[in-house]
Amino acid sequence: MYTIEVDYTTGGSFSSERQTEEIGLVFSTKELARKALLVIKEHNTLYKEADSYHFRKTRTDAEINEEGNNSQWCLDACRVYREQYKTKVTSHDRWRYYVAVEVSPKEYRSLNVCMWTGYFEKLHSAKVISIGDDEDYLEF
């Protein structure tokens, strides 16, 4: 079993702090966890491009929203949301908040990206870590 640990900065107008925490999802294989890392990277890159205070824009908001909304991770997240809440996600920039990853074969879960997205937040890194019954992990 595996999860992902993220290293990010959060804060406010007068202070900030660097934090490391797990994303709250468990992956059945290392390969699925690695795929989720790529989703996090893709989402973060798109998020930085969309927000001019993080990145110099080379495309319009409409172009960025179209790419994000049509990304597989956003489409999967909207499907998960629709199945869970029996309603459709209609926001024009839904990709910013709706991200889903495959945690075991053909099983998708929503990924909370709020901890590293926002005006004061910045994602520094993410890594796969082994948990639970894996030989490389001990909990005391």
Q: What is the pLDDT of residue 30?
A: 96
Cα–Cα distance for residue pair 13/6, rounded to 1 Å: 22
DSSP 8-state secondary structure symbol assigned to residue 102: E
Tokens standing for 124? 């520094």
β-bridge partners, 110: 100
If one compares 135 and 85, the residue with the highest pLDDT of the two is 85
Q: What is the pLDDT of residue 123?
A: 95
- H or E, element range at 10: strand 2-11
DSSP 8-state secondary structure symbol assigned to residue 132: T
The answer to pTM > 0.85 is yes
